[in-house]
């Protein structure tokens, strides 16, 4: 089945407000020196939050069939695994070469 009804216009507007606020926070922390130590994990979490909001509400995965989530989530996980694997391979090799 196609799943439940799509979100209302009010929900779309609230999601947009959150997306704007999170983007302002992202750009804000980029410029604040105090956040430099935790900048990368913080930005990754904020980016993942925005990604999830768009996918769940604007692309309707929250209410649509789980099979669509599987069609999207499977390759997304594979792409993330390839990315992490390549980074570990390249940066791991560099660290080995440097004797760290």
Partner 1 sequence: MTHAAAHHTSMGLDSRKMAFWAFIGSECLLFGSLISTYLVYKGKSLVGPYPHEILNIPFTSFSTFDLLASSLIMVLALAAVQRGDVRWAKIWLFGTAFLGLVFLGGQVYEFSSFVHEGLKIDTNLFGATFYVLTGTHGAHVTVGVIWLLTHWVQTLRGKMPTPMTVEITGLYWHFVDVVWIVIFTLVYLIQ
Joined together, the tokens standing for residue 52 give: 């999830």
**Which of 36, 44, 63, 95 touches partner 1 by CB under 8 A?**
44
Coil/strand/helix, residue 4: coil
- 51 part of the interface to partner 1, by CB under 8 A: yes
- Exactly one of 1, 32, 96, 98 binds partner 1 (CB under 8 A); that residue is 1
* DSSP-derived secondary structure letter, 8: P
Q: Name residues contacting partner 1, limited to 11-40 (CB under 8 A).
A: 12-13, 15-16, 19-20, 23, 26-27, 30, 39-40
Rounded to a whole number of angstroms, the minimum distance from the CB of residue 95 to partner 1 is 14
CB 28 within 8 A of CB 39: no
Instruction: Name the nearest CA neighbour of 53 among 12, 6, 4.
Output: 12
Among 4, 38, 87, 92, binds partner 1 (CB under 8 A): 87
């Amino acid at each position: 089945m196609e799943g439940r009804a799509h979100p209302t216009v009010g929900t779309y507007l609230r999601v947009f407000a959150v997306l704007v606020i999170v983007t302002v926070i992202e750009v804000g922390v980029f410029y604040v020196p105090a956040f430099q130590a935790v900048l990368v994990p913080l930005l990754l979490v904020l980016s993942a939050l925005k990604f999830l909001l768009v996918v769940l509400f604007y692309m309707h995965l929250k209410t649509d069939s789980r099979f669509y989530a599987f069609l999207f989530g499977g390759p997304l996980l594979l792409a993330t695994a390839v990315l992490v694997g390549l980074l570990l391979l390249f940066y791991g090799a560099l660290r080995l070469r440097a004797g760290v």
